[in-house]
Chains A and B, each alone.
Chain A
Amino acid sequence: MDRIDLSALFLHFLALWFVAVGGPSTILPDIHRYVVEVHHLLTSAQFAEIYTLAQVAPGPNVMYVTLIGWHLAGWKGAAATTIPLLVPASTLTLLVGHFNERHPNAPIGRAIRRGLTPITIGLMLASATILMRAVNHDWSGYLITLITVAVVLRTSWNPLWLLAAGALAGMLGLV
C-alpha cells in the first residue's frame, strides 16, 4: 500500500469537483482510478462497499467521498476529500447567482446543459459498470443487478427496501 499524500488527495478531489457537472456519480470512475488503480489504497471490492455504505446513510449521496477519506486517513483524510466539494458550490454558484441578474438573456446556459448532459450520462454509465465489475463475480450477481434495474424502472419503491433485500440475499448466500 502506498503512503497517503493528503495534499495530493486534496488537490485531486478539488480538481475533480470543478468538472463534476451532473453530480457526484460522474467523478466516481476517476476516484476509483485514483485510489484503487493508481495508488492501490483500497481494493475494488472495498471501494464498492464504502460507496454502498454511504448510500445507506442519510444525507446526500456524495458522502461516499467523506467515507473514502476517513477510511484512508481518519479525520484528516475525511477533511481532505470533503472540503473540496464545498469549493465550487461556494464560489461558482454565488458568482453565477450574480451573473444571472445582470445578463438575463444569455443562451449560453442552455448550450452548456445540452452539451454536457450526454457526457454526464456516459460518465454515470462508466460508474455503474465499474461498480458492477467490482462486486459481481458470477451470473447470480449480474442477475440481481438486472432485477434491481427492472424494479426501479417499473415501480416507485424506496431504494432502501431494495438495498435491504440485497443485504438479505447476501446473508442467505445467494450472491
Chain B
Amino acid sequence: MLSVSKHSEIFFRNLLKIQRRKSLQFNPWNASSQETMEQTESHKPRVSRLDLFLTFSRISLSSFGGAIFWARRQLIDRQRWLTEREFVDVLTLGQLLPGPNVLNLTVMVGYRFAGWTGAAAAVAGFLGWPCLVVIGMGVLYQQYGALPQVQQALAGMSIVAAGLLLATVIKLAMVLPRRWRPWLFGILAFVGVGVMRWPLLWVMGGLAPWAVFAAWKEQA
C-alpha cells in the first residue's frame, strides 16, 4: 500500500507536471515531468507550535521584496522541515489556489506539522509582525507624509515600485506559449480591468471558466 506522501507525490507529478527544480518560476506549460525524481521516503520532523511561530516570524521579518526566497532558505536549508521537492509541491499548490501564495504555503506547512492550531501559529508569526510594521509606517506616513522632502522621496520610490511590478509582468509573460489563446485571455483581462475599469469579479466570472474550459479541452 502506498503511503500518503507517495500518494501526494504521484498526485503532484501528474496534476502539475512540476519542473524538477532549477527555478521557482511559475510555468504551467513546462512538461518536464519525465525527469526522475527521488523516491526516497521523506521523514517528518517533530515541530512544535512555538517552532512554527518563531520560524515563520523569522521568514516574515527577513523577507524584503518577496518572501519565497526566505521561506525556502529557512524551511529547507536551516530547519530542514521540508525537502526541496516537498517545498516546490506545496508552493505550486499555493499558486493554484486564491490568496497570497506564500500565505497558502504557511497554512499548509503549519497544518502539516501541527494541525489547525499549527496553521494558526504559523500564520500568526507570518502576518503578525508585518502588520505591526506597516501600521507603524502608516503612523509615520500620516505624521510626515505631507512634508515636501518625504513627498519627493515617496514619489521617486513609487515610480520604481511601478517599474518593479512591470518587470515581474514581463518575466511572467515570457513563459506564455506562443499561441493565440493564452495571449487573448491575457489581453482581455488587461483591457477589461485595466482599460475599461470593470469590476474584477465580473471580468473573472466571465473569463475564468472559459479559460479553464479551453485549457481543459486543449489537453484532452
Contact = CB atoms under 8 A, between A and B. Distances in A.
Contact of A29 (B127, B194, B205): B194
A117 B107 CA distance: 22
A50 B17 contact: no
Interface in A83-124: 85-86, 88-90, 92-94, 96-97, 100-101, 103-124
Contacts of A128: 162, 165-166, 169
Chain A: interface secondary structure? helix
Contacts of B14: 104-105, 107
B157 interface: yes
Contact of B154 (A49, A101, A132): A49
Contacts of B28: 110, 113-114, 117
B152 A171 contact: yes
A107 B200 contact: no
A120 B172 contact: yes
Interface stretch (B35-43, B47-55, B73-81, B90-98): B90-98
B98 A59 contact: no
Interface in B1-34: 4, 7-8, 10-12, 14-17, 26, 28-29
B65 interface: yes
A125 interface: yes
Interface string B103-122: 11011100100000001000
